[in-house]
Structure 1
Amino acid sequence: MRNVLAAAAIVLPGLVAPAFAHPHVWVTAKAQILFAPDGRIAGFRHVWTFDEMYSAFATQGLGKDGKPPTKEELAPLAKTNVESLAEFQYFTVAKTGPKFYEFGAPKDYELEADDKKIVTLSFTLPLKEPVSAKKPFTFMVYDPTYFVDFELEKTDPVTLKDAPAGCSLTTFHPDPLGKDDTTKLNESFFSGLSPGADFGIKLATRSIVACP
């Protein structure tokens, strides 16, 4: 429950949720895997579009004459969200085999609202050190506790930017939940508790990068 409360404070700063059923925040995500000039993976460009409830909270009191708020008005919230996500490793997994990689400070972040006041957070997340993709490199975006439901865009959810010739990207979607896991998830909606400390990985999409 401590982690769930912390997640609520980060993803919904200032909002007191009446219950902590899972998931509580929905995000449609897409990403670019960024390559350095030497052909190694340097980081990621995240684009996360939030659900109507979070968007309504984020834009409350902002904008003029019914218009959506500007990037400048949303800049303080963008900064708060991006900086706070560090505690949760930015809901991002980068690994080769059993080896997990660490991230540097996010940059080039911004929060935008469209004509319907739906907000999208974009930011670049560098790796602390660039990584070779000569061995299969795994990239995932998910919340282990499933407090936040990350669903990838239907079309080109993950792409490669400035990748060397011959690099490939393969996406693996999760298998449907089994009976036991479905029961756990359903029970979590009524109990307000997490379905499991690492339940989110069962619903996570894996992207595998391999370069010659």
Structure 2
Amino acid sequence: MPAPGEAGKMRDRMVLKRGAWRVRAWGLGCAAAICLVSQGAVAHPHVFVTARQAVVFGPDGKVTGVQAAWTFDDMYSAFAIQGLGDPAKVLTRQDLAPLAKTNVDSLAEFGWFTVAKTGGKSQPFAYPVDYWLDESADKLITLHFTLPLKVPIATGPFFNLQVYDPTYFVAFEFADKDPVTLVGAPPGCSVTVSKPKPLDNTDNQKLSEAFFSNMSPGMDFGIKLASRAIVACP
């Protein structure tokens, strides 16, 4: 574990040929190395996120965006907050503001790991607003942000939402309680969350570090392990 004074420098350093760009999205260049050392030869994923999402509607009944609250695993959280304040105290939003900005800025390259579709067509997002990080009493950090849609859309009649990393370097899992909620939805709207099907034997055999290290650009393995939320409105 690096000394606290080195944590800031390490957050900007890339240490893996494959996968480091995913860690860079969180602003932590060495987090992947620490995960690999602690987990030995265990394959992907290396960062774990519990996600809560909210689909936001405007007064006209159209979807205007998605709110996210992503809580990171204890290992990532511990590394992320090194050198950012008194370790005996819970960090404030102000303490974590620079790291929050690094997160949302870097995640733009990856579409904030968020995919929204209506009628089978992906809907583009604008830059996040209302973003911040906070730390809980049990020392876990949570990234909050709102992703506005570039153009508000009708549900059509279904609005599909998934949150995942195509390379499965980061594992996203919807929270058990209230994983996806609706804000300002018209009467009669509902949301259903379905978990992914278990991997077949062929896919299970692929879950090695070598497989992910040699993954072809554009390969979308993570979708196989992604939950799906479907919002339906009359």
Q: TM-score, normalised by structure 1?
A: 0.92
| Structure 2 counterpart of 1:143, from 165, 169, 182 | 165
Tell me if structure 2 keeps the 8 A contact 1:22–1:193: no
Q: Does 80-89 or 168-177 show the bigger shift?
A: 168-177
Match of 1:119 in 2: 141
CA distance in 1, matches of 2:156, 2:119: 12
**3-state DSSP of counterpart to 2:151:** strand
Q: Percent identity?
A: 52
Question: Number of residue pairs matched?
Answer: 210
Residue by residue, what CA displacement relative to the aligned partner does 1:142-183 show, whole Å, maximum 9, x if unpaired?
111101000110011001111000112121211111000111
Distance 1:168 1:192, change over 3 A: closer
Match of 2:109 in 1: 87
Tell me the CA shift for residue 10 of structure 1: 1.4
Tell me if structure 2 keeps the 8 A contact 1:113–1:120: yes
Match of 2:21 in 1: 6
Distance 1:3 1:102, change over 3 A: farther
The yes-or-no answer on 1:193 pairing with 2:213 is yes
Tell me the CA shift for residue 191 of structure 1: 5.9
Structure 2: state its 5+ residue gaps.
1-15, 37-41
The RMSD of aligned alpha carbons is 2.0
Tell me the CA shift for residue 98 of structure 1: 2.6
| Structure 1 counterpart of 2:187, from 135, 151, 165 | 165
Structure 1 runs of 4+ with >6 Å offset: none
AA at the equivalent of 1:169: V
AA at the equivalent of 2:24: A
Distance 1:65 1:80, change over 3 A: closer
Q: TM-score, normalised by structure 2?
A: 0.83
- Higher relative contact order, chain-length normalized (CA < 8 Å, sep 6+): 1
AA at the equivalent of 1:55: S
Match of 1:27 in 2: 49
Tell me the CA shift for residue 88 of structure 1: 0.4
Residue by residue, what CA displacement relative to the aligned partner does 1:20-71 show, whole Å, maximum 9, x if unpaired?
9411110000010000110000001100000111111111122326112211
AA at the equivalent of 1:5: A
**3-state DSSP of counterpart to 2:66:** strand
Distance 1:56 1:81, change over 3 A: same
